[in-house]
Every structure is written in structure tokens, then in C-alpha cells.
Amino acid sequence: MPIPKRTPIAPEDGDGLVPDELAELYRRHAPAVLRRGRRFLPPDEAEELVHEVFLKLVEEPRRLRGEASPATWMYRVATHLCIDRLRKRARQARLTADFAATRAPHDPGQTPEARAFLDALWSTLDDELAMIGVLYHLDGMTTADIGRTLGVSDRTVANRLARLASAARAAAGDEPGGQR
Amino acid sequence: MTLDRQGHLTELALDRLEADPPASDPSFFEAARAHLAGCEPCRARVDLRRRDALTIAPSARVVAAWRSRHAARRGHLPKLVGVGGALAVAALVLIVARAPPAGDDDAPRKKGASLHLEVHVHDGARARLVGDGDRIRAGDRAAFGVRPERDGHLLVFGWDATGAPYAIWPMATDPRAAVAQPIARMEATLPLPAAIRFDGTPGAEHLMAVLCPEPFSLADLLPPDGLGASEPRVPAACARRRVVLHKTP
């Protein structure tokens, strides 16, 4: 049997149509991503964030395929991009400022560590600590849930939270040291 | 697992309830729904989300990236296969991912049984997604994408107006010998490493994907009196999708 010679065809572009599969992914996941974006960003930026998340999905589809929970992947990527955007702006505002309207059912920020994190510390921590801090202090997640969401052990999360608390105390001038 | 430190469903848990397929993590869905049943504040949050009804359409940049990516994926397929005989003239690589334009009327509708088939035809100038009743011409080339919504064994085949069957995926010189290949449930459309060029036989061109829980061959599906006279014998437990095109010389 002859194997035909490959004849690549350029993709159809510019016809103004949205592939239905992409539209379905948006229908299913974009509301949650948009909601997540609005917790940290102004509405117009939150919409940009949605498209940014889906661009990552398009660029790395295998990552999503390997996820038991696509929503978790979206949540993680969206949170990371939110933190990234806020940092790029070198914004020193309290993280709670944009968050107050849709905060978790509990009231975050009641402990000194949480207040330090929410006020300013989040913007100076490394990516992993900032992410863990957001999930813990803003979303109220348990260490086990954070571990599952980020793909690390409970113990790792607990260690990072201890480091975060130490950084908070250092930021408050209670003790020397930083995030590491 | 689903609760925050205050004992309520996390935002992520609500996202998962809203967007993840229940089959992705049955224990999570069971636990989350059980909690919802007894937690009024959490139900209120779910209601608030429903009232929000957020929608957002893909941006042009994402659409362009999507198409570009799918084209690139096709370009890296290791090998193309053709259809035997006169149809095995050439094959092509094409991916423009879209959902199926039209369902097979006799496709099973029960949850979890769905199978999606995309047919993309290139006429030498441009590619288009085709659906039932669309016209094609001899020499047009076609590529295929599938999205099985459950694990199973998949076979894609076709037959022309004379009833002559041909295997599309997996490829087999003798179509009767084509054996369905195991495939996992997919969240996104999988472009098949298979393409065909339509020959000059005019009339209806049937393209069908069949997904069964058990292994099978194309021979199992062929009716004794031929596809020109009867329908394929697809077991009730199988999902199938068909696109019927009208071919002109």
C-alpha cells in the first residue's frame, strides 16, 4: 500500500468563525476564570486574564489533558496570572482591596500573618509562596486542598506556610529574616 | 477535600461543580453535593453564580492561536495513511478544530455515550468544516477529528454510493480487516492521523465513526447485503456519528 506524500494545508484563518470546540471550552470554563480574575483585577483586566488563560491552554493542551480536574488547572493558572499581573504593575496596594466584594465565606486577614501577607508581603514573595498565601489567606483553603491543587504534599504546604509566617513576622519587624 | 477552613465549599470546589465533568472525580462530586444539600450558605453562593450567568466569547487572538496550534499538531503527525485502491491517491494534514456540525440522527443520546466526529474538506483552495448534505467534488481531500466522551475502541470508515466500504482510521488495505483501536475519553478533539482523497464515484459519501466498549472490526459492522442496501450493523452499546456528503464529479 503506498503511503501518500504529505501535503500540508494551511489552516483556515480569518473567516470570523470560532471553532465550536473552543467555544465549548469557553462556555464551560470561562465564567469561573472570569470570576477568579474579578477577585483580583478590574473587570476589563479580568476579561484579558480569561483570554490569557485560554492562550496558555492552546499553547499547552497536554497539561490540561493530564489533569483529572480541568477546573483546577484553570484555577491554578488564573491565580498565578493574577499574581503575576499585579506584580508587574508593581502595585503595592493591599491585596484585599480588590478582593473584598467576593471574599470567601470566612473573613481572611484576622491573624497578623494574614494581615502582613494581604497588605504587602504577597508582592515580594516568590511565586510559590505568593500562590500558597493566596490560596490559604484569601481562599481559606486547607493545607490538604492547597497541596492537591498545586500538586505538592501537605507537608510541603505546611512548611511553606511556616516560612510565610516567618516572613510576615520579619516584615513586621519582629524578627530578622525574610522569605528564605 | 472540598471545604475551606470554615467548613464551606471552596471557590475551587464550586468551580469544579460548575465546569468539570462529573465522571472526572465521582467521589468529589458526591462529597460536594452532599455538603451542598446541607449547607444553605453554600447553596446561596451557587445560586448567586447562576444569577451571574457570566459569559465571555473567545478573543480573535485565542481563535487564531487555536487554529495555528491545531495546524501545527497535524504537521507533526508521524505518518499519514491513505485509503486503499483508487482512493489512496494522496493524504493531507489538516486541522481546524471545531465541534461536529451535525449529529448522526441515530447517534445514541444517553449521557457518556457521545462521540463527536469532525470532517474537514480541502478543495485545493481552502479548507472547511463540512456537515450533512454538504457538497464535495472528486479530488477533494478530507481529514478527521474525533472526541470520544468515554473510553472504548474506535474505528472510522466510509462508503460511497456503490456501497464500497473503506477504512479511514485505522488504515487497512482490506477494509474488512480494519480493527478498532483503543482510545481514551478526550476533553478535546483529537485529529486523526488519517486523510483521504475522494474518488470520482458520484453520489452520497458516508463517513462514520463508531466507538464501542469492546474490540471489533469493520467486518463486524458490514451487513450481509452490503452497505449500499443496508445500514452498518452497529451494536446498541456503541456510539456512532455519521456525516453524509454529496459528491459530484
Q: Could you report the per-residue pLDDT of B65-108, keeping only the tens digit for each?
A: 887 776 655 433 333 233 332 222 223 333 222 333 333 444 43
From the list A9, A19, A139, the residue facing B93 with the nearest CB is: A9
Mark yes or no for CB contact B122/A148 under 8 Å.
no
The phi, psi pair for B173, rounded to 5°, reads -60, -45
Q: Contact at 8 Å (CB) between A55 and A77?
A: no
Mark yes or no for CB contact A7/B63 under 8 Å.
no
| Unique residue bearing C-alpha cell 481514551 | B184
The pLDDT of residue A95 is 60
Q: pLDDT class for B199, splitting at 50, 70, 90?
A: confident
The pLDDT of residue B90 is 29
Alpha-carbon distance of B108 to A19, in angstroms, equals 24
From the list A21, A25, A69, the residue facing B16 with the nearest CB is: A69
Mark yes or no for CB contact A9/B94 under 8 Å.
yes
Mark yes or no for CB contact A18/B63 under 8 Å.
yes
From the list A9, A29, A142, the residue facing B19 with the nearest CB is: A29
User: Residues 6 or more apart from B213 whose CB is under 8 A from it?
Assistant: B151, B152, B153, B237, B238
Which residues between 49 and 78 in chain A have a beta carbon less than 8 angstroms from any beta carbon of chain B? 50-51, 54-55, 58-59, 61, 64-65, 68-72, 74-75
Amino acid at B205: E
Alpha-carbon distance of A66 to A73, in angstroms, equals 10
Give the burial string for B206-217 (b: 16+ CB within 10 Å, else e): bbbbbbbeeebb
Q: Is the dihedral of CA B17, B23, B26, B30 positive or negative?
A: positive
Strands B239-248 and B135-137, sheet pairing: parallel
Q: Which of A59-63, A141-145, B103-107 has the highest mean pLDDT?
A: A141-145
- Rounded to an integer, what is the distance from CA A89 to the centroid of its chain? 16
The pLDDT of residue B51 is 77
| Unique residue bearing C-alpha cell 481559606 | A140
Point out which residues pair with B154 in neighbouring strands: B181, B211
The pLDDT of residue B86 is 28
What share of chain A has pLDDT > 90, as a percent?
Answer: 18
User: Residues 6 or more apart from B34 whose CB is under 8 A from it?
Assistant: none
The pLDDT of residue A7 is 28
Q: Contact at 8 Å (CB) between B213 and B152?
A: yes
Mean pLDDT of B211-218: 92
Mean pLDDT of B130-157: 88
Q: pLDDT class for A94, splitting at 50, 70, 90?
A: low
Which range has the worst mean pLDDT, A12-26, B31-45, B83-97, B224-238?
Answer: B83-97
State yes or no: pLDDT of A15 exceeds 50. no
Mark yes or no for CB contact B80/A74 under 8 Å.
no
Is the pTM higher than 0.90? The answer reads no
Q: How far is CA B109 from CA A20, A127, B144, B214, B239, in A?
A: 19, 45, 22, 19, 9
The more confidently predicted of residues B126 and B224 is B224
Point out which residues pair with B182 in neighbouring strands: B153
Average model confidence (pLDDT) across chain A: 74
Give the burial string for A131-150 (b: 16+ CB within 10 Å, else e): bbbbbbbbbbbbbebbbbbb
What share of chain B has pLDDT > 70, as a percent?
Answer: 82
Which residues between 76 and 135 in chain A have a beta carbon less than 8 angstroms from any beta carbon of chain B? 104-106
Alpha-carbon distance of A138 to A140, in angstroms, equals 6
The pLDDT of residue B74 is 46
The pLDDT of residue A9 is 29
Amino acid at A87: R
Contact with chain B for residue A3, Cβ under 8 A: yes
The phi, psi pair for B199, rounded to 5°, reads -85, -170
**Nearest Cα residue in chain B from A28:** B19
Alpha-carbon distance of A47 to B56, in angstroms, equals 8
**What letter would DSSP give residue B248?**
E
Which residues between 87 and 106 in chain B have a beta carbon less than 8 angstroms from any beta carbon of chain A? 88-101
**Nearest Cα residue in chain B from A32:** B15
**Nearest Cα residue in chain A from B89:** A4
Which residues between 145 and 204 in chain B have a beta carbon less than 8 angstroms from any beta carbon of chain A? 147, 171, 173, 186-189, 195
Mean pLDDT of B178-205: 83
The pLDDT of residue B156 is 93
Nearest to B175 by CA among B107, B58, B88: B88
**Nearest Cα residue in chain B from A6:** B92
- H or E element at residue B208: strand B203-212
| Predicted confidence (pLDDT) per residue in A146-157, tens digit | 998 888 998 999
Q: Nearest CA of chain B to the CA of A3: how many Å?
A: 6
Alpha-carbon distance of B220 to B179, in angstroms, equals 10
